[in-house]
């Protein structure tokens, strides 16, 4: 059974989904595996609006976490089993907290920001600030104090996420041609370096997810055409943070979308969203891309 003591932190702002088209019903999407590995939180709009659900990794148990007209987006966990996710509303991101047994939100902080992410220890925020596409990555305390700009040059930058030990931040950045790449920098903003150098044929890498040991990033990379959505395709890749060596998992020529990876705490499995069965659902596979199993139905 799902742990009744799961504590949920609701962070209200939407993650930018660059170059991705609006899709039909998402029965399961944007998965995030808990630090214990016992729960996968995810988004579903099966009720008409985005709400957060949680399931056991085999799909046998399901719990609805939120029931709100707000369109909550991508859930993520802090190390103490708190869940963070976001909804962008009124040009403001607002942090909330709630219990799984009483999902009425409790405000913690607000920030005029996009793409807000809480650090693993739950004490800091990193987010994109500015007018798209001239954005900067900014860090602050949970209450919005101690604000500092981390990046040096404004750009189309988002999907920022701290490494497990909080010494590094990975993020996606678009160049002048709108080609996305994944970058890594030190948590203080120094040492920026481009990690991926994908070609247009390989797609636009984004949505970095740190492996538990901090040595690898799982990312998604896809080709999206709003005028021909039936041809859209995306893969999960694993990239070595030191060498930039990239491995595409479960290569396919059929136009379906494998996206938004999340590692299990043992580093042996990855949860992701995929429409390979005809509708967007949560799947789990081995970290080498084998043995993919559909979780949500």
Q: Nearest 5 degrees, angle CA 275-CA 120-CA 166?
A: 110
Residues counted in the chain? 297
Tokens of 237: 């890749």
Pairing status of strand 258-263 against strand 246-249? unpaired
Gyration radius of the chain's alpha carbons: 17
The pLDDT, as a whole number, for residue 270 is 98
267: left (phi over 0), alpha (psi -120 to 50) or beta: left
pLDDT in tens, 137-154: 999 988 778 999 999 999
Q: Nearest 5 degrees, angle CA 143-CA 148-CA 153?
A: 140
CA–CA dist 203, 5 (Å, integer): 40
Domain annotation for the chain: domains and CATH numbers: 7-291 (2.120.10.30)
Pairing status of strand 82-84 against strand 7-12? parallel
Q: In the chain, what percentage of residues exceed pLDDT 90?
A: 61
Tokens of 110: 């607000």
The pLDDT, as a whole number, for residue 133 is 87
Please state the pTM of the whole predicted model.
0.88
Give the SS3 label for residue 129.
strand
CA–CA dist 185, 175 (Å, integer): 17
The pLDDT, as a whole number, for residue 195 is 98
pLDDT in tens, 16-26: 333 343 445 89
Residue with tokens 């059974």: 1
Neighbours of 135 (CB within 10 A): 23
Pairing status of strand 293-294 against strand 281-286? antiparallel
Can you list the residues of the chain whose pLDDT is less than 70? 1-24, 87, 91, 95-112
The pLDDT, as a whole number, for residue 138 is 94
The pLDDT, as a whole number, for residue 161 is 96
CA 235, 52, 76, 161 torsion-angle sign: positive
Tokens of 126: 């990193």
The pLDDT, as a whole number, for residue 193 is 97
Q: Are 65 and 97 in contact (CB under 8 A)?
A: no
């Amino acid at each position: 059974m799902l742990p009744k003591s799961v504590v949920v932190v609701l962070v209200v702002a939407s993650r930018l989904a660059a170059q991705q088209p609006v899709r039909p019903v998402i029965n399961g999407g944007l998965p995030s595996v808990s630090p214990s590995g016992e729960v996968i939180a995810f988004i579903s709009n099966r009720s008409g609006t985005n709400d957060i659900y949680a399931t056991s990794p085999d799909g046998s148990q399901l719990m609805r976490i939120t029931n709100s007209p707000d369109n909550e987006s991508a859930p993520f966990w802090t190390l103490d089993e708190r869940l963070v996710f976001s909804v962008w509303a009124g040009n403001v991101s607002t942090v909330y907290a709630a219990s799984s047994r009483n999902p009425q939100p409790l405000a913690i902080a607000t920030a005029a920001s996009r793409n807000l992410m809480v650090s693993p220890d739950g004490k800091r925020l990193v987010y994109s600030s500015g007018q798209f596409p001239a954005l900067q990555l900014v860090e602050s305390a949970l209450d919005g104090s101690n604000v500092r700009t981390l990046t040096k040059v404004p750009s189309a930058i988002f999907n920022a996420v701290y490494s497990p030990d909080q010494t590094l931040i990975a993020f996606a950045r678009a160049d002048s041609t709108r080609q996305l790449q994944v970058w890594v920098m030190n948590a203080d903003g120094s040492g920026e370096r481009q990690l991926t150098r994908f070609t247009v044929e390989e797609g636009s890498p984004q949505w970095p997810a740190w492996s538990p040991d901090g040595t690898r990033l799982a990312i998604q990379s896809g080709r999206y055409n709003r005028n021909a959505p039936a041809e859209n395709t995306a893969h999960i890749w694993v990239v070595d943070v030191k060498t930039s060596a990239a491995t595409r998992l479960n290569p396919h020529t059929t136009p379906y979308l494998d996206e938004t990876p999340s590692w299990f705490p043992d580093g042996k499995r990855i949860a992701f969203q995929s429409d390979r069965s005809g509708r967007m659902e949560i799947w789990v596979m081995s970290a080498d891309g084998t043995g993919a199993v559909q979780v949500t139905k």
